[in-house]
Amino acid sequence: MPAPPNPTLSELFAAHPHDSGWAGFLLAQLRPDKPLLWVQDRMAILENGRVHPPGLPAQDLIHVEARDARDALWAMEEGLRCSGLSAVVGEIWGDPKALDFTATRRLAVASERSGVAAFLIRLGGHANLSGARMRWRIASAPSLANDLDPKAPGLPAWDAELFRARGMPPGRWSIAHEADRFHLVAASGDRALGEERRLSA
Amino acid sequence: MPHLAIERWAKSADCPPDSPTVLTVEGTHGPVIHAVTKAAAERGARTGARLTDARALDPTLVAVPADPEGDAALVRRLARWAERWSPLVEVDGDGLRFDVTGVAHLFGGERGLVRDIQRQFAGIGLTTRIAIAPTAAAAWALSHFGRSSSIVTPAKAGAHVGAGRRTLEKSSDMDASLRWHDELNALHVSALRLDADTVRTLERLGLKTIGALIGVPRLALARRFRGAEDVVDALDRALGRKPEPLTAAPADPPPRSTLRLEEPATHPEAAPQALERLIPDLVRQLQERHLGARRLSLTGYRVDGSVAVASVATSIASREPRHLQRLLADKAAALDPEFGFDAFALTADWIEDLRAAQDSLVEEPSGERELARLVDRLTVKLGPRRVQRPKAEESHLPERASGWVAAISSSLSAKPMGRGTIERRFNGGRVGAKLLHHSTSSSGPPPQPYRAREELCRPQRLLDRPEAIDVIYATPEGMPRRFVWRRAVHDIARAEGPERIAPEWWRQPSSARLRDYYRVEDSSGRRYWIYREGLIGDGRGGLPNWFIHGLFG
């Protein structure tokens, strides 16, 4: 899994507005030692639900419900100035005007200066010009086999496409997360192979 | 409180009551006795006498320097404490003055009030002499010179502890006023709080009691005693011919700094500029008193007699000028000057103790304080309802289990919520509303413990309001096969459930239906949390409805 050497701004595009697979992918990367600032704009909450703390890892959380993208970006930038946070997550719905190259560039610079990782989640948006250092497109993939119940969903898996990154070649992975580690799994559908790879990893 | 000084000293020094001790203050010719213990009084020591004279009578006297400032501080503290009896309490020398108008009935009449005050003060080891009289001056006179705990009651009035008294209300009828004048008439003229020279002059004139003084024509008195020794004035105050209102000692006033402008300022920049000048002054006051502000308000006084207020709150006490400035600057700029501001005041309405502290050697703010400031800034701009922290509730209903509280009002050290909380809760032995179907296969590892499964079962995202979906299912009580949410069809590839959550009958209406939650995954791998509300034939409505409630990551 490619990861930036220093905390910076990553942009995560949900493959489909109602696909929350990115949440699992993102949460697996966060360090739980410090509080997390989670900013959602109003449309993101309406369309995709509000953050549900019991489903998150045990971590202190400050949740901001922003009126629009401008407020959300402002709150993210304020958060990035605060070194007491582990990461700042911001969810923006669609392609608002406020979210231009300058805005993303500001976030990236603020994040690199303070050492707080920033994740900009784009729900139903287009990959326009952006200052983000890593740009991902995340889709849910059929989950791994459930050892206990073959009919039940197992560990979540994702199709992650890194389509732009600074100093890294782009790529595409099918991955799952277990016990603090990402595992490569085979392409979607072929569960038997994924299962083997996971067990042997 | 006639023996305040000596009683306070006896308590703090923990001395036996029979030790012959005197408290002394420095006089012009050596130490003068300020207060005496009972044992010392029996041996001839008198308040006001010189220590050397008292020592001549009994050389075993122990002299201790008095602490008048400490005594005064105690009286001030007692004044605050005494507000339990009356809203208006004033410090008066070594005594307290209460306005007991309309208060006495709460303590079972005036006798009850006096008894209660005496008992409470005795509880903290202080002797009191209490008088209730129609005027403050009369109450002082009676408490210092009258019978012990005298109550003269012509209608309602004010009381004085130790030197306790009441202020007059002008409703006294003639009979009653004559009666309480009798009490007063018998007292010596020094009860009018005149200075020693005046008292001596009056005594020489043969006017020894207040009664005798009242008999003298006012004009003659006024002509004979003028200026500072205004006997007529003292008499008028005692008899209620002249009002003597009480001024209650205010509680510690909040730190406040003010700025007056020479000319009304109509420029919108006026308020932020005033703020820049006010904050350093306020911060200095906070520093001196070791306080930090939790809420600040900037008041702009307009020339036309109206005011504009901007206030902000902080999540931890702060007196850092830059932080406060940043919080208030935007709101100050939004104050509308209209016809112009001619004065500003910055008040710390809500303050908390804040000692000077250094977190680290290098000048780097600690994470917690940084975080608190972040919360402040976010809250000021977006409002307290939009900046929240999770708060776990004891409930199985998902929407209730994860409550939110305003981040500014929740303490930062609060336990973070997450799987840990859920885990702890289910370990607590509450079963009841939960039902999980484990279908174990013969091969594979043994089923994981119940708790571990539990952790996986909460979605990362919850819709604020569950949305109705159309579901196709194999059997009414069986697994869902396909559902339509927001006009998109999702074929369910895999499903797990049901997890049954019963309604909370102790707070929901009896028609509330149970919920069977399913974790489902559609053919493209997206995972949802859907539930069926109710069962067929549960008698609480028709066919069960289906809802989508959460999304898994």
Taken in order of first residue, the domains within chain B and their CATH numbers are 4-66 (3.40.1170.60), 86-239 (no CATH), 256-353 (3.30.1490.100), 450-552 (no CATH)
Q: Which of B136, B179, B173, B172 is nearest to B156 (CA)?
A: B172
pLDDT over 70 for what percent of chain A?
Answer: 91
A129 pLDDT above the threshold of 70: yes
Determine the average pLDDT of the residues in B76-89: 80
Residues B545, B550, B551: CA angle, nearest 5 degrees: 130
Q: Read off the pLDDT band of B491 (50, 70, 90).
A: very high
CB neighbour burial string for A21-59, b if at least 16 within 10 angstroms, e if fewer? bbbbbbbbebeeebbbbbbbbbbbbebbbbbbbbbbbbb
CB contact under 8 A, A142 and B521: yes
A86 pLDDT above the threshold of 60: yes
Q: Contact B447/A148 with Cβ under 8 angstroms?
A: yes
pLDDT at B249: 62
CB contact under 8 A, B420 and A58: yes
Residues A69, A73, A77: CA angle, nearest 5 degrees: 170
Q: Which residue has the higher pLDDT, B503 or B249?
A: B503
Q: Which residue has the higher pLDDT, B149 or B310?
A: B310
pLDDT over 70 for what percent of chain B?
Answer: 81
pLDDT at A75: 94
Cα–Cα dist B402/A52, whole Å: 7
Q: Read off the pLDDT band of B50 (50, 70, 90).
A: confident
pLDDT at B153: 56
Return the number of other C-beta atoms located less than 10 Å from residue B548's C-beta. 22
Query: Least CB-CB distance to A54: which of B368, B386, B402?
Result: B402
pLDDT at A10: 93
**Beta sheet of B256-265, edge-to-edge order:** B256-265, B341-353, B291-302, B307-318
Determine the average pLDDT of the residues in A78-96: 91
Q: Which of A160, A159, A162, A156 is nearest to A144 (CA)?
A: A156
On the question of a cis peptide bond just before residue A96, with omega within 30 degrees of 0, the verdict is no
Interchain contact B404–A (C-beta under 8 A): yes
Q: Read off the pLDDT band of B179 (50, 70, 90).
A: low
| Sign of the alpha-carbon dihedral angle for A108, A113, A114, A117 | positive
Q: What would the pLDDT profile of B433-468 be if each residue is shown by its tens digit?
A: 333 333 333 333 333 333 333 455 789 999 999 999
B252 pLDDT above the threshold of 80: no
Q: Contact B474/B481 with Cβ under 8 angstroms?
A: yes
Q: Read off the pLDDT band of B418 (50, 70, 90).
A: very low
pLDDT at A99: 92
Cα–Cα dist A194/B146, whole Å: 101
Interchain contact B521–A (C-beta under 8 A): yes
Q: Read off the pLDDT band of B142 (50, 70, 90).
A: confident
B345 pLDDT above the threshold of 70: yes
3-state DSSP assignment of residue B454:
helix
Q: What would the pLDDT profile of B51-68 be if each residue is shown by its tens digit?
A: 888 888 888 888 888 888
pLDDT over 90 for what percent of chain A?
Answer: 47
- Domain holding A50: CATH number? 3.40.50.300
Q: Contact B522/A20 with Cβ under 8 angstroms?
A: no
Query: Least CB-CB distance to A55: which of B439, B459, B496?
Result: B459
Determine the average pLDDT of the residues in A13-18: 89
| Residue B542 parent element (H or E) | none
pLDDT at B416: 43
Output the average pLDDT for chain A: 86
Interchain contact A34–B (C-beta under 8 A): yes
The ipTM assigned to this model is 0.89
Query: Least CB-CB distance to A64: which of B387, B441, B524?
Result: B387
pLDDT at B27: 79
* Least reliable range by pLDDT among A39-48, A65-74, A175-184: A175-184
* Least reliable range by pLDDT among A101-115, B1-15, B290-304, B481-495: B1-15
Output the average pLDDT for chain B: 78
- What is the gyration radius of the CA atoms in chain B, in angstroms? 38
Interchain contact A145–B (C-beta under 8 A): no
In a domain, A1, yes or no: no
Cα–Cα dist B347/B293, whole Å: 9
Enumerate residues 525 to 544 of chain B having a beta carbon within 8 A of any beta carbon in chain A. Answer: 525-527
Q: Which of B275, B286, B288, B346 is nearest to B317 (CA)?
A: B286
Closest residue of chain B to A73, computed from CA coordinates? B378
Determine the average pLDDT of the residues in B59-86: 82
3-state DSSP assignment of residue B357:
coil
B387 pLDDT above the threshold of 80: yes
Cα–Cα dist B5/B1, whole Å: 9
In a domain, A3, yes or no: no
Residues of the domain holding A21: 9-200
B396 pLDDT above the threshold of 70: yes
Determine the average pLDDT of the residues in B386-412: 83
Interchain contact B126–A (C-beta under 8 A): no
In a domain, A118, yes or no: yes
Closest residue of chain A to B415, computed from CA coordinates? A60
Chain A positions in Cβ-Cβ contact with residue B387 (cut-off 8 Å): 62-65
Amino acid at B20: P
Q: Which residue has the higher pLDDT, B174 or B207?
A: B207
Determine the average pLDDT of the residues in A135-153: 89
Enumerate residues 174 to 193 of chain A having a beta carbon within 8 A of any beta carbon in chain B. Answer: 188
CB contact under 8 A, B374 and A25: no
CB contact under 8 A, A143 and B421: no
Which of A16, A27, A62 is the best residue to mutate to test the B interface, defined by the most B CB atoms within 10 Å of its own CB?
A62
Q: Which of B60, B59, B76 is nearest to B68 (CA)?
A: B76
Query: Least CB-CB distance to A84: which of B371, B390, B401?
Result: B371
Q: Which of A8, A175, A16, A144 is nearest to B490 (CA)?
A: A16
Cα–Cα dist B505/A152, whole Å: 31
Q: Contact B550/B528 with Cβ under 8 angstroms?
A: yes
In a domain, A4, yes or no: no
Interchain contact A75–B (C-beta under 8 A): yes
- Report the length, in residues, of chain A: 201
B151 pLDDT above the threshold of 70: no
Q: Which residue intervals of B364-403 are DSSP H helices?
A: 367-382, 398-401
Interchain contact A17–B (C-beta under 8 A): no
In a domain, A100, yes or no: yes
Cα–Cα dist B57/B43, whole Å: 7
* CB neighbour class for B398 (10 Å; exposed up to 12, middle 13-18, buried from 19): buried
CA distances from B197 to B92, B204, B483, B552 (A): 22, 11, 103, 92
CA distances from B297 to B279, B338, B407 (A): 11, 19, 20
Closest chain A C-alpha to B416 CA, distance in angstroms: 5
Cα–Cα dist B336/B96, whole Å: 46
Q: Which residue intervals of A18-154 are DSSP H helices?
A: 21-27, 42-48, 69-80, 101-114
* CB neighbour class for B33 (10 Å; exposed up to 12, middle 13-18, buried from 19): buried
Sorted by sequence, the CB contacts under 8 Å of residue B150 that are 6+ apart come out as B131, B132, B133, B142, B143, B183
Q: Which residue intervals of B106-185 are DSSP H helices?
A: 109-123, 136-145, 174-185
With 0.90 as the threshold, say if the pTM is over it.
no
Q: What would the pLDDT profile of A21-63 be if each residue is shown by its tens digit?
A: 999 889 888 887 889 999 999 999 999 999 998 888 877 899 9
Query: Least CB-CB distance to A156: which of B401, B422, B552?
Result: B552
Cα–Cα dist B453/A42, whole Å: 33
CB contact under 8 A, B381 and A61: no
Cα–Cα dist B271/B299, whole Å: 9
pLDDT at B446: 36
* Least reliable range by pLDDT among A119-128, A179-188, B70-79, B348-357: A179-188
B511 pLDDT above the threshold of 80: yes
Enumerate residues 101 to 120 of chain A having a beta carbon within 8 A of any beta carbon in chain B. Answer: none
Closest residue of chain B to A65, computed from CA coordinates? B386
Domain count of the fold of chain A: 1
